[in-house]
Amino acid sequence: MTEYVVRFLVGGAVVSAFAMLGDVLRPKSFAGLFGAAPSVALATLGIAIYQHGASYAATQTLSMMSGAVALAIYSVVVCQLLIRARMRALPATLLSIVVWLVAAVGLWALGGGQA
Amino acid sequence: MTSPICISPSALREGRWYEYVVRFVLGGAATVLTGLISSRCGASFGGLFLALPAIFCASATLIEKHEIRLKREAGLDGRRRGQEAAALDAAGAALGALGMLAFAAVFWLVVERSVAGAFAGASLAWLSVSVAAWFARRKLRSARRPERDSGPAMSRSRSR
């Protein structure tokens, strides 16, 4: 239980710090870089190394590469839904999570991912 | 030559207190979720969720809301402007994802040799690849549309 409380607090703090950095930067497209900052990764990998060691974290970051490519696809889809389909931000970003999930799992499976 | 990037600390005053709480909770929840998936399904599958765009949903929605609020204060509808602002954020996130890919690659290569080196090297790789990609995109766009960029200031978005 304590482990998940620590994860929650560390993750919340790191993500908030990157989000605030993105808030103060202009132009908006540059600030958007911080929307894809590895904030969850920084919080998670530190705990993973402490608990399971460096090779566990290496396995996680190998899979993270598929997730990152899926994130690029996700961002392009969100951009198109907002500009071409004129959707509002909340439905566009939530619906596109399905695209991220399919792309991430697909790329992971293509790369011979092992659970 | 002046830098196109600037810092606007007053932007923090545009946010409401609950918006910061929402992002803190989402960030914490995403980190807990990644830990849970890794412990149930293994480190390999759980690693995918290190790149989960959970926070992006909240950020894009907040950007859209802020832009709509600003336009409504000026007596305009603002919905289209809000969508455009969120789309610009998404375009930036697509470039940031390349930086995230570089982060993961460097961390994977270095972590078993040096933990501190992995964190430092991967963070540096994320920042340099993201910023380089942003400048490359900016240069490409201005090379493609020189007439638009040299047009009257009113035709250009102040937030681009």
Identify how many contiguous H helices and E strands chain B contains and give both numbers. Answer: 6, 1
Closest by CA position to A76, among listed B92, B102, B65, B142? B92
- The DSSP line for A5-61 is HHHHHHHHHHHHHHHHHHHHEESHHHHGGGGG--HHHHHHHHHHHHHH-HHHHHHHH
Name the amino acid, one letter, at A56.
Answer: Y
| Touching B: A residues 72-91, CB under 8 Å | 72, 74-76, 78-79, 82-83, 86-90
User: From CA A13, how far away is CA B97, in angstroms rounded?
Assistant: 21
**Contact across the interface for A89 and B53, Cβ inside 8 Å:** no
Q: Does A68 touch chain B (CB under 8 A)?
A: yes
Average pLDDT, integer, range B81-102: 92
Residue A64: list chain B partners with CB under 8 A: 47-48, 50-51, 100, 103-104, 107
In this model, does residue A48 exceed pLDDT 90?
A: yes
Best B26, B61, B107, B158 member to test A by mutation, with max A CBs in 10 Å, is B107
Contact criterion met (CB < 8 Å) for B83 and A22: no
ipTM of the complex, rounded to two decimals? 0.93
Q: How confident is the model at residue B50 (pLDDT cuts 50, 70, 90)?
A: very high
Contact between B106 and A40 (Cβ < 8 Å): no
B12–A20: do the CB atoms touch at under 8 Å? yes
The per-residue pLDDT for A62 is: 95
Tell me the nearest-neighbour CA distance from B16 into chain A, angstroms. Answer: 12
| Those residues with Cβ within 8 angstroms of residue B38's Cβ, 6 or more apart along the chain or in another chain | A44, A48, A60, B45, B46, B47, B49
- Contact between A19 and B40 (Cβ < 8 Å): no
What's B154's DSSP letter? G
pLDDT class of B159 with cuts at 50, 70, 90: very low
pTM value is 0.88
Residue A57 to residue A52: CA distance in whole angstroms: 8
Q: How confident is residue B115, by pLDDT bands cut at 50, 70 and 90?
A: very high
